[in-house]
Amino acid sequence: MILSIHQPSYFPWLGLLDKIAKSDVYMVMDEVQLSDSSFQNRNIFLSSDGKTKYLTIGFNRNGYMSRRFCDLEISQLDWQERHMNMLKAYYGKHRFFPEVQPIIEPIFRNSYTFLVEPVVESMRISMQLLDIPTGIISQHELAYDRTTRKNDLVLALVKSIGAGVYLAGTGSKSYMQVDTFSAQGIQVEFNHFVHPEYPQRNMQKFEPGISCLDLLFNVGVERAREIFWQAVHNKDKRV
């Protein structure tokens, strides 16, 4: 079993979805604290004039640095209406907006209390749109030693579900001690992702690293799946 672990991300970028697609199981790391610089509760989109814009879900910031992500409550009552209106303003004239909009609309209709709920649901919808069959489990549901940190924490999480291969991002090379995994019979592989390019309306230069919805609004579900999976298969490099 190949396992990947990552913090949840609001309508994630293609690099995270690439790693998830190469895994049998993706673990939502939802017991960590929210970082102001992260994409756990926000992501980048392109406005109608080609500028990068954030869509952010507000949350109760009272003591948030000492609370688990899965325990943070949503604070903005109007975020759903605001986000849907902004997406219509940014992408409403894109050819494939009418195809994609009904599929993502439940995010902006359903009732949520905790921040993790719409964020993880946005990931599930993104995976559905790109035909990613990977299973999802949540960190908070597992039994493991919660006193562990960094490398030992990841090792404990991998062991908790009995995965034989841990697919890590290249950013974790700086702190991961691969030999500790090897000693437990676990193989560590580092995912290599090359961002595919696609036509972006109103853009003269391709803007990478933004929400996967940009791909879908620009080329539609069928073509987005082709582009995404071609990148996964052609660049399926784990070193």
Domain ranges of the chain: 2-238
How large is the average pLDDT for residues 79-108? 98
**CB–CB of 214/47 below 8 Å?**
no
What mean pLDDT comes out for the span 147-164? Answer: 97
d(CA 29, CA 39): 13
C-beta separation of 168 from 189 below 8 A: yes
The reported pLDDT for the residue numbered 235 is 55
Q: What is the pTM of this model?
A: 0.95
Region label for 150, one of left (φ > 0), alpha (ψ between -120 and 50) or beta (otherwise): left
For the segment 194-207, what is each residue's pLDDT rounded down to a tens digit? 999 999 999 999 99
Sheet holding 135-138, edge to edge: 135-138, 25-28, 2-6, 165-168, 187-192, 237-238
Minimum mean pLDDT range among 29-38, 118-127, 173-182, 228-237: 228-237
Cross-strand partners of 46: 52
Q: Does residue 132 register a pLDDT over 70?
A: yes
Rounded to whole angstroms, the Cα distance separating 192 from 61 reads 35
Residue 203: count other Cβ atoms within 10 Å of its Cβ.
13
Q: Quick: pLDDT tens for 95-129.
A: 999 999 999 999 999 999 999 999 999 999 999 99
Amino acid symbol at 84: M
pLDDT at 237 over 50: no
